Structure 1
């Protein structure tokens, strides 16, 4: 956990991906404790929600070995948020994958946002919490500089598709095929969604921003029009042929 007089950074391998905390506030004992608390949270979320662990609550719930009332409060919270996302996206966000209960399309964003809140409560007010490439940003990188986030181009390794500038609390979530292939499914047909190479959504907090990015990617052709209806959200897309588009308000953030 390297720290300096002006900041602190920590990297944690958990939930099958890499989480990182970039804290630009002066480190204090409370902030150090909060980093440990955030790390503990992420490992607990993995133990509760991992679909790759037979002993997780979500796996046991899916197999019918336990009922929802037997699960810890965070399972109730996440499933309620999943239901909210399903309603808000007209069913394009789904908690089932191949007939298996799988809320992971929301869990990572929810966990990243929750970790960010732990840091903020301890006095870390200028932070970037990164959960596998999805970000919850708070305030600014420095007093005089906003956060600048490069979005990797899905078709041109080593290049950026755009750069997003953030000088307030906001979230950035990207769904794409570059790293995991066509892993996002159309929930209505069960077939892989292939309309986009990558879709980045900006919103106020990461839980729903991440869910909306997944849903819009799955929606395909109608994703752009649907995103335009969302208050407080903007998007940038790269198509499989390399063409790009952005929603009407994206220019206030993107370069």
Structure 2
């Protein structure tokens, strides 16, 4: 299941700012800035944004031989990069928080892909805010981080697409949210080492896209029954909410998730 921005008629060409799409990490990544800034400031912001994302790919990709993760997997010397230590430590914390269902070490290979994409966008989002571009939408392979407004007085409208039909199944309204979906690419069950296929998709929303990305991956790996129980427990904290789509198209959402999609959310936007 994928996500996408839903643009209201008449708004698409009225917002200030700029956007760019490039291929990074093997997928199209878009940076859409809606804050009214001079062009002389917007272009360097986009240049820096994609330079950061390429650095993340060069550092953390498990398939690039000279990346730090690639070198670590081959037992070679790595550079003591603070971001590398941060990511590996956070992945260990998320493994514990999910009782091992989020696992970056499978069959002796370290692969932080289930966290790194969301982490990279989350860091980029904070950097854009610090640079004065507080209204933006970041999208990497369907995982989104939105802040601020899509247009003056308008929340971002994020369409969550059905994994079977690709039609928009739900619309999430938000000013500050991370939206991560698992199911569009391979997820390995860490208990069996096999590709997990018992669910169609899992979408997790919350304040940190990296954490939401990891939770979505873990919940998808759990399979139907345990996924629903874990999502319900996770929702009790109020920070991360979940929507699960089964193979037969049945939908299960936590109450906090529906708060972003119901009439109240639409009226608030």
Q: TM-score, normalised by structure 2?
A: 0.86
Residue 237 of structure 1 deviates from its aligned partner by 1.6
Name 2:158's counterpart in structure 1: 149
Output the CA distance in 2 between the equivalents of 1:140 and 1:225.
34
Give runs of ≥4 in structure 1 deviating > 3 Å: none
Q: TM-score, normalised by structure 1?
A: 0.91
Residue 194 of structure 1 deviates from its aligned partner by 2.0
Output the CA distance in 2 between the equivalents of 1:150 and 1:5.
19
Structure 1 unaligned blocks of 5 or more: none
- Identify which range, 146-155 or 225-234, moves more after superposition: 225-234
| Structural mapping, 1:30-109, within 5 Å | 30-67=41-78, 70-109=79-118
Higher RCO, 1 or 2 (CA under 8 Å, sep at least 6)? 2
Root mean square deviation of aligned Cα: 1.7
Cα deviation digits, residues 50-86 of structure 1 (max 9, x gap) = 111111111111110115xx33221111101101111
Cα deviation digits, residues 95-131 of structure 1 (max 9, x gap) = 1233311111111111111121221111111111111
Structure 2 unaligned blocks of 5 or more: 1-12, 263-269
Output the CA distance in 2 between the equivalents of 1:161 and 1:87.
32
CA contact (8 A) 1:31 1:122 kept: no
- Tell me if 1:13 matches 2:23: yes
Residue 210 of structure 1 deviates from its aligned partner by 0.6
Distance 1:5 1:50, change over 3 A: same
| Structural mapping, 1:136-215, within 5 Å | 136-157=145-166, 159-166=167-174, 168-177=175-184, 180=185, 183-215=186-218
CA contact (8 A) 2:134 2:147 kept: yes
Q: How many residues align?
A: 245
Cα deviation digits, residues 1-44 of structure 1 (max 9, x gap) = xx987121111211111111111111333343222111111111
